[in-house]
């Protein structure tokens, strides 16, 4: 059986994309970010993500300074894609200590809707909303 990739484009009421208490947008998908980068780059979003690993940026990820630690995450859940989340170097150890595939809600600022080579959004960590206390 051959697999075929399908993408779905949908509509949601603008009222469903409300700001959280901290001013971050909630309910925004990665697909929406990719389809309207001018609207979302620079915006702060709350995303539920599954932490896969802490990585170090290299020349293939031009949207991140070389050597900067970042999270490779899956999501925003329940989406099956990936998101790169840039970290301050002093935050890397706490994320490395998480169990495999741990879910967190992170407040992130969108740096790029996609990388040069992949459809992976690039964000930077603003704060942890939930998920770090109950490792």
| Strand ranges in the chain using DSSP code E only, listed in sequence order | 44-56, 69-74, 82-86, 102-112, 122-130
Interval 39-56 mean pLDDT: 95
For residue 61, the tally of other CB atoms under 10 A from its CB is 22
Q: What percent of the chain has pLDDT over 70?
A: 87
Domains of the chain and CATH, by start: 17-130 (2.40.50.140)
What pLDDT digit, counting tens, does each position of 8-43 carry?
Answer: 677 766 555 555 566 788 889 999 999 999 999 999
Radius of gyration of the chain (CA): 15
Instruction: For residues 48 and 78, give the distance between their C-alpha atoms in angstroms, rounded to a whole number.
Output: 8
Instruction: For residues 111 and 109, give the distance between their C-alpha atoms in angstroms, rounded to a whole number.
Output: 6
What's this model's pTM, rounded to 2 decimal places?
0.80
Look-up of token digits 């300074």: 65
């Amino acid at each position: 059986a051959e697999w075929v990739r399908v993408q779905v484009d949908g509509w949601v009421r603008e009222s469903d994309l409300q700001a959280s208490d901290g001013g971050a947008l909630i309910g925004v998908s990665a697909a929406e970010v990719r389809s309207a980068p001018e609207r979302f780059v620079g915006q702060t979003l709350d995303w539920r993500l599954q932490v896969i690993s802490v990585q170090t940026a290299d020349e293939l990820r031009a949207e991140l300074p070389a050597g900067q630690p970042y999270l490779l995450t899956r999501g925003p859940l329940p989406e099956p894609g990936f998101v790169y989340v840039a970290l301050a170097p002093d935050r890397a150890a706490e994320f490395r200590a998480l169990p495999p595939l741990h879910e967190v809600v992170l407040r992130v600022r969108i740096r790029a809707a996609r990388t040069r080579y992949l459809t992976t959004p690039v964000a930077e960590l603003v704060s942890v909303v939930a998920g770090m206390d109950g490792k």
